Amino acid sequence: MTIGLLTLAVFTLAFSMLAKRLSSTVVTAPMIFIALGYFFHETGLLPQDGAEAALHIVAEIALIILLFLDAAQIDLGALKKSSVWPARMLLIGLPLAIGFGTIAAWFFLPGWPWVALALVAALLAPTDAALGQSVVANPLVPERVRRTLTVESGLNDGMALPAVLLFASLTASAMGQEDRNWLLFGALQLVLGPIVGIIAGYAGGKLLMYSHRQGLTSQTFEGIGALALAGAAYLAAGEVGGNGFIASFVAGLTFGNILKGQCKFVFEFTESEGQLLIWAAFFLLGLALVPEVISELTWPVLALIIASLFIVRPLAIWISLIGTGAAATTRLFFGWFGPRGLATALFALLVLPQIKHEYAETILVIAINAVWISALLHGLSAAPGAKFYSKLIADKGHCEETQPMPKAFE
């Protein structure tokens, strides 16, 4: 085990030294760390005992913090008034993706109840900008386009989670599991989570602002306080029967809109220490689950994943942006660069204990395979795709794509 940990530490050090250079290539961090985890599994460099439990812990912590921090960076007023692209993609594109995904799942999973099909679609709807870092960090891509993808991916996992919880509860109920009132359980998760999030985010934001004005704290300690607030919202929601992830997300929205960008840590952590959490989660995913689900990958499951990546999201995003002035090339670009990441994996692990049925295993196989396939395809296409798109936009002279996003999103 010591040799395995030493190898992992040396590899992470080496990757860190080359990360900036690699960001402009087809090699991405999620792709590399999933593959590294798979390699460790196959070679036995690290024991498998406890790997899945570690994945749950690391991915859960990463998602709590990143849901909070991503939401805290969004100015809701600016999003509503000035940023029609991400607003349309979130409010129209996301529901359409779940609807179209349900129809696609019906073709490839015959005999499944519609609520289970909708659950699969909801799990495949969230996107993760970390898998397309070569796009959102590429200066060749217009700033407005990059910011739109960042805003959308930062918010859509939190917005997709209520649908995941709802359909998971309905699926459990449809399976005849009478040991718990799953509909009531789901309703409490969806209602109490946001309430706790609003209270925690408002109280935390006001207290932090007061402490800052009085000179009682500094930026370093404000950052620690923000992390503690995310954890407090998550734990408090669980205590009252709400969903902790939704609470963390809503707390971040509330907190960020009270501080109005005054807490620089929110941005700095997401781009530094937050990356370590993401790398660790993808490594553990490759170590604990990817080898197992690859062996259970069937043609219908593969076809569903491909349809989700190449048809469902692109079609939903295309429709959502009708009438916004976005060029056809830009709509296709947005539709493709919606990689599936940690949210898809962790949401699947989160809801499967509710579904004590053979569907549960298949749902996990679909979700985890979608993540590594997306990491591969979006990773390979991110850098060349961004370069090709930027050239097309420049040649055609689309002015809408080159307009800057509002300052609230910078």
- pLDDT for 308: 97
Residue 53: CB atoms within 10 Å: 11
Structure tokens, 84: 């029609």
Q: How far is CA 82 from CA 52, 149, 159, 213, 300, in A?
A: 43, 15, 20, 30, 42
d(CA 282, CA 319): 32
Rounded CA separation 281/230 (Å): 18
d(C-alpha 201, C-alpha 215), whole Å: 21
Between the two ends of the chain, the Cα-to-Cα distance in Å is 44
Query: What is the largest distance, in Å, between two alpha-carbon atoms of the chain?
Result: 63
pLDDT 10s digits, 217-271: 877 787 788 889 999 999 999 899 888 888 999 999 899 888 776 666 655 665 5
Measured CA angle at 309 (ends 388, 60), to 5 deg: 110
Instruction: Fill in the amino acid letter for 106.
Output: W
| Residue ranges per structural domain of the chain | 50-397
CA distance 35 to 31: 6
> How is domain 50-397 classified at the CATH fold level?
Na+/H+ antiporter like fold (1.20.1530)
Q: What's residue 129's pLDDT?
A: 65
Whether the full predicted model's pTM is greater than 0.85, yes or no, is: yes
pLDDT confidence band for 132 (50 / 70 / 90): low
* pLDDT per position as a tens digit, 350-396: 888 878 777 889 999 999 999 999 999 998 888 888 888 988 887 66
Nearest one of 257, 242, 199, 225 to 71, comparing CA atoms = 257
Please report the pLDDT score of residue 408 as a whole number.
47
Q: Could you tell me where the beta strands, DSSP code E, fall in 20-97?
A: none
